[in-house]
Amino acid sequence: MPEKQYLFTPGPTPVPPQVLAAMAEPIVHHRSPDFVPVYERVLARLREVCRTETDVLLFTASGTGAFESAVANLVTPGEPHLVVAAGNFGERWISMTRAYGAEVDELRYAWGETPDPDDLRARLREREAKAVWLVQSETSTGVVADVKALAAAAKEAGTIVVVDAVSSLGAVPCETDAWGLDVVVSGSQKALMTPPGLGLAAVSEAAFEARGDAPRFYFDWERTRKAQRKLDAPFTPPVSLVAGLDVALGLLLEEGLENAFERHVRLGRATRAGAKALGLELFSPDEDRSAVVTAIRAPEGVESDAIVKGLRDRFGITIANGQGDLKGKVFRIGHIGWFDVFDITTALSALELVLVDLGADVERGAATTAALEAFESTTAAA
């Protein structure tokens, strides 16, 4: 029998069968009536998921590509920008804004720390910035930042606010309009339950008006916005991915965003409770907001590489190693998108067996019970 594969990473994530089926339909022409209504519905559903009235621009690109659209459209070489970084993705945005010639100021935290709005407020009093670049869910550490409070601090200084919501959109609340987020960037392959390949950017009128003059063409917001408003994509869209995203967003909205957020909180609780019951130490914060990915320290004397490899080789389970300096030290279990509590108990039971193989001293048989109980609990996690 072919080995069953399990994908428990924070992107790509498992894709529901209805989405896969939609993607297997014959190819249609992107300017024909076979596609235009799908395109229109996807754009409307994206606005609903982003909680915005503004245009959500869709690009054939990964999340990083959609983010680059923000950099290419907002940066004018020599201008001051402030990037808040507390992990791998914050570091990426420092490199990218700098590559476009911005004068980049960094509000940098140790990996695993949570950015503080008061630090941001203080920094913006010292040094002006045209835009503040934030990461909502720092997937490398499991920290979910308080974007609402950070954006409010940035707004006091009158800056544009750009948010990397690649791993968080659809999993935790991201109120584009209500929180005054000028640009929200995401990708198809995380909580949006679709294969990799589509990037999106919700762009406010203020961000659009603040465009700079770095060179750009494919990622030019004006070109895409103008075409999308006529439901005529500027370049050939990946029609099958768009059809898949339409179904996936339909599933998410049918569940209801609030219900999906609640489910993710409980999935995070279950994962943390299970890891602790095994006797492991959490790297990501033990708090409800940490609902995207759980980073766990490898036990004394065990490299996380061996855990990742053991899960793959023995059980066909893919999880993620640590990134950067955390490689070998932590491992990460993603729980965004098409996940239920049995995905968590599967991951935890396999983890228990692999840790025993590796000679770690773990508490046997306690993880799944703790996970199931935590998933059912309706009070805030301890």
Ligand X SMILES: *Cc1c(COP(=O)(O)O)cnc(C)c1O
Q: Pick from 52, 167, 228, 290 the residue near ligand X by CB under 6 A.
A: 167
Closer residue to ligand X, CB minimum distance, 86 or 270: 86
- The CA R_g of the chain, rounded to the nearest whole Å, is 21
Residue 11 within binding range of ligand X, rule CB under 6 A:
yes
Site for ligand X in 272-301 (CB under 6 A): none
Q: Pick from 18, 36, 60, 64 the residue near ligand X by CB under 6 A.
A: 64
Token readout for 195 is: 């294969």
Min CB(163)–ligand X separation in Å: 10
Residue 137 within binding range of ligand X, rule CB under 6 A:
yes
Site for ligand X in 147-166 (CB under 6 A): 164, 166
Q: Which of 188, 196, 183, 205 is nearest to 97 (CA)?
A: 183
Token readout for 197 is: 């390949």
Q: Pick from 9, 52, 54, 62 the residue near ligand X by CB under 6 A.
A: 62
CA distance 5 to 99: 39
**Residue 82 phi, psi dihedral angles, 5° rounding:** -120, 125
> 3-state class of 328 per DSSP?
coil
Min CB(352)–ligand X separation in Å: 27
CA distance 173 to 136: 10
Closer residue to ligand X, CB minimum distance, 284 or 368: 284
Residue 118 · residue 147 · CB < 8 Å: no
Residue 139 within binding range of ligand X, rule CB under 6 A:
yes
Min CB(192)–ligand X separation in Å: 11
Beta bridge partners of residue 321, listed in sequence order: 331
Closer residue to ligand X, CB minimum distance, 201 or 278: 201
CA distance 55 to 208: 10
Residues that bind ligand X (CB under 6 A): 10-11, 62-64, 89, 135, 137, 139, 164, 166-167, 187
